[in-house]
Amino acid sequence: MLSVLLPVFAVHLVAAMSPGPAVLMTVRVAMVRGMQAASALSIGIALGAVVWATAAILGLAALFEIAPKLLIAFKAVGASYLLWCAYKMWRGARAPMEIAPITGPAPSGLRSFLLGLGIQLSNPKPAVFFGAVFVSVVPAHADATTFAAILGIVFLNEALWNIFIARVFSLERTRAGYIRLKTPIDRMLGGMLAALGFKIALT
C-alpha cells in the first residue's frame, strides 16, 4: 500500500501548496478573523477536496468527456462565485478593520467552514486536477481500505497546509501589518481572486 500512497501524497501535496483561491481566502480570513476562523475555513477547504477526489475516483473525468457542456456550465458558475468574492473583498477594502478575538468561542466558525467548502467546490482547478492528474496515480482496482487512505491523505494535505498558512498570517505582527495596509492588501487579494475567476471563465 505504501508504494501507492506515497505518489498520491507527493502529487496532491504539490497541488495543495500551489497558489489559488483557497490559499488567498485562507490568508484573508487569518488576518481578519484570526486563527480559529481560518482553521474552520481550512477544514471546509479540505472537505471540498475530498469531495472532488471522491468524484474523480467515481469517474468525474469520464462524465465531463460525455457532457462537455456540463464542464462549461460548471466553470461559469465557479468563475462567477470567485468574482463575487473578489468584488466583496475589493468593495470592503476601505472599511474599518474589525478583528475578531483570537481566543474564546468564535461565532464565525461555521460561516468560515462553509466559505472554505464553497470556495473549493466552486473552483474548477481541483476538478481538473483530480479528474486528470490525480486519477492517474490512483490504482483503478484498489480496495476500499486503500481508497479510504487516499481520501485521508487528501484531507490532511489540504487541512494541514492551509492551517499552516493560517498560523503564519494570524500572528499579531502579521495582523498589525495588515491593519496598516488593509486597503492595498485587500485590493491586491481581491484583484488576484478576480484574475483567477476570469482565467477560469476564459480557459
pLDDT digits (tens, 9 = 90+) for 54-65: 887 777 556 666
Higher local confidence (pLDDT), 46 or 65: 46
- The percent of residues above 70 in pLDDT, for the chain, comes to 76
Contacts of 127 (CB under 8 A, 6+ apart): 52, 55, 60, 64, 71, 74
- pLDDT, residue 153, reads 92
Instruction: Report pLDDT digits (tens) over 69-98.
Output: 766 776 677 677 668 777 877 877 776 655
Name the residue with cell 490512483.
138
**pLDDT value of residue 163:** 95
User: Residue 23's pLDDT is what?
Assistant: 84
Among 155, 119, 153, smallest CA distance to 2 is for: 153
Q: Is the pLDDT of residue 100 over 70?
A: no
What confidence tens digit (pLDDT) does each residue in 114-148 have? 999 998 988 777 776 776 666 566 666 667 888 88
Q: pLDDT tens digits, residue range 14-25?
A: 778 776 788 888
**Residues composing the chain:** 203
**Is the pLDDT reported for residue 202 higher than 50?**
yes
Phi-psi domain of 107 (left: phi exceeds 0; alpha: psi -120 through 50; beta: other): alpha
